Amino acid sequence: MADIFEISELAKEYAQLIRASRQKQMQLDRDTIAHVLGLLHDTLDALQEDIRSIPRGILAERFQRDLERSISRHVTTFGERFKASLDGGIEAAALNVSEREADLLRRLSLVRTQIHPEHSLHVAAGAAQIGVEFGRVQAEVLDRLYARVYPDGLKLSQRLYNLDRDARRSIADTLFSGVAQGQSARKLAEALRPLLTAPGVENVRYKAMRIARTEINSAYREGHIASVTDENGKLKPWVEAIGWRLSPAHPRTDICDAWAGDDTEGLGAGNYSSGNVPPGHPHCLCYTVTLLASLPDQQFVSHPPKPDDVPESQRKYYGQPKPDPPAQSDS
């Protein structure tokens, strides 16, 4: 770790920490997505193997019952493995961002002249606590993500339940109608691919990946919030605000531009107190940063938002009204 003696160098260091940690996060996102895709291929293989090997006697009913059992077993296995992979990704993302904040805090504790001298003791105490904090942050993030209700009214556990239910239904519908039409085992087996692993359609693959990406990136933000707040949800003394920042991969103007441009609290564009950080949306890759009390001018914006271009329908859906235009002066 570099010795830092001037506060001005800290901003540069933190920008680098953010960049490195975001790169790690993107890798984690890719790894988890690849792992989930592997689980889906395993599920497809297992189902196809059963379709080929289950004896198809004279009684269609019996064949159907055996297929039902096979679907149930393999979808349940997929659901369990998917959840394990998701939870592992969530914990890894929370750890990644809490390490980023721990590095920032360690550097902050090395700064020679604090702009706010009264923070020095807090910073030193915080730096001494770093090791204890990691486990707490991971557990807290898992709790928060499972407790959160998204704007569509669903919690993560309900989303996982729906994924399982939809997978069972679509597989059973496809197989049973194929059986009724007298399709060959080979044809039945082939019909499952578009439902499970084919890209570019709204199938199990798409839904599972959306959940994984959304939650793992949500964990990165929640892990940050948990790292810079105390047990009562209050920001730690050296933290001025939490900044919502757009991902450079942000494809087009959406509700995130409103969140990254909002200044309702008067803390600067996109900056929030701990309880007011926006929830994110499906596929959201935005991240949050610490605004340090000792670096009031450093905003760590790499991708400026366009809040005026956000479609009204999205503002409504996320309950984010357009701010009033500035009052006309009569000079």
* Cα dihedral 301, 306, 308, 310 sign: negative
Which residue, 194 or 279, is less far from Zn ion as judged by CB? 279
In this structure, are residues 223 and 141 in contact, taking their beta carbons and an 8 Å threshold?
Answer: yes
Instruction: For the CB of residue 149, give the shortest distance to Zn ion in the complex, in Å.
Output: 18
Which residue, 63 or 287, is less far from Zn ion as judged by CB? 287
Instruction: For the CB of residue 277, give the shortest distance to Zn ion in the complex, in Å.
Output: 12
Q: If 0-12 CB within 10 Å is exposed, 13-18 middle and 19+ buried, where does residue 239 land? A: buried
Which residue, 40 or 256, is less far from Zn ion as judged by CB? 256
Instruction: For the CB of residue 293, give the shortest distance to Zn ion in the complex, in Å.
Output: 26
Q: Where are the alpha helices (DSSP H) in the chain?
A: 7-53, 60-110, 119-147, 156-180, 185-190, 193-196, 204-227, 255-261, 312-317
- Alpha carbons 298 and 289: distance in angstroms, whole number: 11
Instruction: For the CB of residue 214, give the shortest distance to Zn ion in the complex, in Å.
Output: 10
Footprint on this chain of Zn ion (rule: CB under 5 A): 256, 284, 286
DSSP state of 240: E
In this structure, are residues 286 and 213 in contact, taking their beta carbons and an 8 Å threshold?
Answer: no
Which residue, 137 or 286, is less far from Zn ion as judged by CB? 286
Instruction: For the CB of residue 246, give the shortest distance to Zn ion in the complex, in Å.
Output: 7
Which residue, 95 or 256, is less far from Zn ion as judged by CB? 256
